[in-house]
Amino acid sequence: GAVVSQHPSWVICKSGTSVKIECRSLDFQATTMFWYRQFPKQSLMLMATSNEGSKATYEQGVEKDKFLINHASLTLSTLTVTSAHPEDSSFYICSARAAEIQETQYFGPGTRLLVL
């Protein structure tokens, strides 16, 4: 089955630094990738949708200058948390959708960010 990886799995950083999270589709071309943030009590919030070669579409309330998303190729999207603060500490999950199978999303394993 299709595999999506995220790197790093876990990152601890100091407040004010920037952190880049990668999301890769390993065996298929992902025309669309989604970035989610998981909150306590398991709810998932969609942050943005990125399409290869174009600017990401951010959900209301998500700061695009704070959470930079780049989808430079059909297998890679990156989320950069700029000037991270403790309130950005969370679990970030990406998912990818292949051009051929539009209805199925493949989720990555998530990246846990802890900002001190």
Partner 1 sequence: EDKVVQSPLSLVVHEGDTVTLNCSYEVTNFRSLLWYKQEKKAPTFLFMLTSSGIEKKSGRLSSILDKKELFSILNITATQTGDSAVYLCAVKNSGGYQKVTFGTGTKLQVIP
Give the residues lining the site for partner 1 (CB under 8 A): 1-2, 9-10, 36, 38, 41-46, 59, 91, 93, 95, 103-107, 109-110, 112
The residue behind tokens 């595999």 is: 3
Question: What percent of the chain is helix, strand and coil (3-state, nearest 5)?
Answer: 5, 55, 40
| 22/110 with CB nearer partner 1 | 110
If you write DSSP's letter for every residue of 56-71 in order, what string do you get?
PEEPTT--TTTEEEEE
| 8/16 with CB nearer partner 1 | 8
Question: What minimum distance in Å lies between the beta carbon of 42 and partner 1?
Answer: 5
